[in-house]
Amino acid sequence: MRPLSIHESYADRHVLLTGASGFLGKVWLAMMLDRVPEIGRIYVLLRPKALRSARDRFEKIVQTSPAFRALHERYGADLSRFISERVEVIDGDIAAAGLDVDPAIAERLRRDLDLVVNCAGLVDFDPDLREALSTNVDGTIYVADFVATCERATLVHISTCYVAGTRSGRIGERLIPDYAPNDQPFDANAELADARAAIERIVAEYDGPERSAELHLDVLKHIRERGLDTNNDTLVRNVTRRLRRAAVKDAMIAEGQARAKRWGWTNIYTYSKSLAESVLAGYRGRVRFTILRPAIVESALTYPFPGWNQGFNTTGPLSYVLGGWLRELPMRRGNPFDIVPVDYVCNAIAIAGAAILKGEHAEVYQCGTSDKNRLTIDRACELTALAHRKHLRRRGDSVVDRVVLSRWDGVPSTLDHTLSVPNLREATKGFAKLMRELPRRWPKALLRRAQRAAKRADELDDKLDTIEHLIELYLPFIHDHFFVFVTDALIDHQVVEPEFRFDPASLDWRRYWIDVHIPGLRKWSYPLIENKTPESYTPRHPFTFTQAPTTGERAGGGAQGGVG
């Protein structure tokens, strides 16, 4: 292929970005503004929330997110002018027809846009099926429909490598319409129609007389157990509404999980993202698009700064668990653990966008490390333990942390290991039962201690229950399947600018894991797990977004179905 220049490809080009409030979208937006200031204009599609307009949300994102730290440090007091000249915030929603954009603005976008980067998506593993289909599938349809009406716009759609589902081995860079991992005859449009019919059945069932009667009894029981008045009609209505909403959501999750399992996907997220790819395949010939599939997106290697992360990513909860007394994790030795830093993924988006703008793109780009620089799950477990040991030796809160835990290793184990979480839970329950059933003739002081011990055992069982559920979520990636994602298409592009190259072979896993990734999780992810607030970011100079109100902008409200 010919050399590909990111600067040349994006100069004076107009880009629409969805998902700018998410981890990946934030970093890509900041990176492009920072490294490619000659880009024409970036339109940011955001959904208003409550009484906060899309424009106000954007201003808060840039003002408070560490993803924009490099820009604040480079431009200082001039950042407001710099961004306001290059960014226009559009009030809209990907989960609505026409993206819920004001018609006059939509017409201007159709004339001006060169590229749409669709980063928006619901990334929870097992969300409400309605939300997964609305955002991940319908959102893809509405974005593609919009691009199809533009004069020259092209589309980069962000998917996931794990649309492969339960199919192990080397996964190629191909878009397969009506794909199902278990090789059963599959029609994506028929499955979507059937899933939507199931959603309607569930809603109707929970509005029906039988479920309503069951719910009414549950509501009265719930109110009595809390010592409240069952004759308070307002209270009964409010509790009924809340319990019905929770029951319907649980039913939707169960329905989505059953559908994913039936066809061979690991969870509702990968099921919905794969359906979106099948739907997008139907736009061949009408929309010029490329699909970027990242693997497990984690802490930045260098941009916006080493270790930046946001929220709960895959390795956050797993590595947190391995930082305490539990150092045994069920996994299959040698299984690839396909981690890719977020700035590598942002480089990949920039490459895919530049390639499609030049008409030199592949239909699918996979963005991972298992093909060129494999990290195995047991090696990741070992490096996690080393990172925790390093931290505890220096900053452990107690002598036990500094002397005992700082010398523990993370150990791969089998599912039926003696110290597996299910076995520990059984032992904990047995101990609590024993403490509660001591003979009443025993001394009262001893019985009181036994009751306290039983209560502590119950608390430990609750924690182990959370850990057991967590491990079940991640077993497909660390134990059940062997995924190697081919990444030739990205590497084939001869990118001119070194800072934008995708080079997984250059990753030093030991340095990244111990010195960058785990410290980043400790700072940005672990506090959330512990119900604490991560360190805040306040720039020296406040950011003010000075975009003039555009035609038809709404102050709040709007459709609430999508993720912006």
**Assigned domain for 554 exists:** no
**How far does CA 97 lie from the centroid of its chain?**
24
Q: What is the pLDDT of residue 401?
A: 44
**Assigned domain for 189 exists:** no
Q: What is the mean pLDDT of the chain?
A: 86
**Assigned domain for 562 exists:** no
Residue with tokens 């699909």: 291
Q: What is the pLDDT of residue 447?
A: 67
**Assigned domain for 478 exists:** no
Q: What is the pLDDT of residue 394?
A: 72
**Assigned domain for 121 exists:** yes
Number of independent structural domains in the chain: 1
Q: What is the pLDDT of residue 281?
A: 97
CATH of the domain at 167: 3.40.50.720
Query: In degrees, to the nearest 5, what angle opens at C-alpha 94 toward C-alphas 115 and 197?
Result: 130
Helix residue spans in 404-545 (DSSP H):
421-436, 444-475, 488-492, 509-511, 518-524, 526-529
* pTM score of the predicted model: 0.86
**Assigned domain for 455 exists:** no
> What is the extent of the structural domain holding 350?
3-182+264-397+483-529
Q: What is the pLDDT of residue 551?
A: 41
Residue segments in the chain with a per-residue pLDDT below the cut of 70: 313, 323-329, 395-435, 437-439, 442-443, 446-447, 450, 453-454, 456-471, 473-474, 548-564
Q: What is the pLDDT of residue 552?
A: 40
Task: Look up residue 341 and give its two tokens.
Answer: 């830093």
Nearest to 101, CA basis, from 116, 113, 90: 90
**Assigned domain for 17 exists:** yes
Residue with tokens 């890509």: 28
Q: What is the pLDDT of residue 557?
A: 34
Nearest to 111, CA basis, from 7, 14, 256: 14
**Assigned domain for 430 exists:** no
